[in-house]
Each structure stands twice: as C-alpha cells, then as structure tokens.
Amino acid sequence: MEGSSPSIMPIVEIPATLASFGSPPTAARATVVIQTPGQRFARTAAGLGVCWGLALAGLFIPVAHFILVPTFVSAGIVVAILRAREDRRLLKVVGVCPRCGVSQEFSAGGRFQSEKSLDCPKCHTRLTLSDASTAATESTPS
C-alpha cells in the first residue's frame, strides 16, 4: 500500500502587478507552488498513466477503439507535456482590480512563469498578471 499523503510542496507568495488596458497597474500578491522536478515527474507520470490506461481500456471496445485509442494516447502526451512544464503552478491571486478598484481574490491555475491573463469576476475586464519579482531580472537573455 502506498503512502497517500502528498509530499509537502513549498507554497510561496510573490509580488505581482495587475494591469489592464487604459488603467495604471496595481500591486497584487500571487500564491504559487514551486514544484521540484520529482514532483513534476510524478504528476506527469500520473497524467500519462490515466490517459494511457483509458487508451488501453479502449482497445477492447469494438469499433470505438479506432477513435478512443489515438485520442487518449495523444491526450496523454499533451497532459504530460503541460504537467512537465509546470515548474511554478499558480494557486491564487489577491489584489485590486485596476479597472473597477475592487479588492478580491482571483482564482487561477496552471503554469505561471512571468505573465498570465486573468478575468476580473466583478467587471469582467481582461487583466494581465505580471510577476514583479522576476520582471526586472528576466530582461537579460540567458
């Protein structure tokens, strides 16, 4: 039996800015999970395993397997690529919308490298979340 408790992932708050067209950007705080290569690999393998398991199950369904198998095989590859790249996973953003001025918590997900699009739930303005901590340092090409 495997240990079911998830390994502790470092959760950090990083300074960020929220910007929208025509309004000055406001300060925000983004909560991200820093995933180690091992944790990324585990999530990658799990996603691949689920999709390829479904593909394998689809093999035994007559006719439908022509569609199911290639669909789940390619879905597994897509999921694996997305998860393997999730070195910093965004959990939530707390800040003030630059358009309507409402302080709120934005629910978010997926990879967060330096910029991400968000929608304000109050005024439905498309906002751009920028990582304020790396914006200054990432300008130099590596």
Query: Which residues contact Zn ion (rule: CB under 5 A)?
Result: 97, 99-100, 120, 122-123
Rg, C-alpha atoms of the chain: 19
Of 27 and 46, the one with the shorter C-beta distance to Zn ion is: 27
In degrees, rounded to 5, the angle at the alpha carbon of residue 78 between the alpha carbons of residues 132 and 106 is 35
Q: Residue type at 132?
A: A
| Count of residues in the chain | 142
Percent helix, strand, coil in the chain (nearest 5)? Answer: 30, 35, 35
**Burial bucket for residue 76 (CB in 10 Å: 0-12, 13-18, 19+):** buried
CB of 98 to Zn ion, least distance (A): 8
Of 85 and 122, the one with the shorter C-beta distance to Zn ion is: 122
Of 103 and 113, the one with the shorter C-beta distance to Zn ion is: 103
Of 26 and 35, the one with the shorter C-beta distance to Zn ion is: 26
CB of 46 to Zn ion, least distance (A): 36
CB of 94 to Zn ion, least distance (A): 14
For residue 17, what is the DSSP state? Answer: E
CB of 101 to Zn ion, least distance (A): 7
Which candidate, 12, 7, 77, places its Cα nearest to that of 42? 7
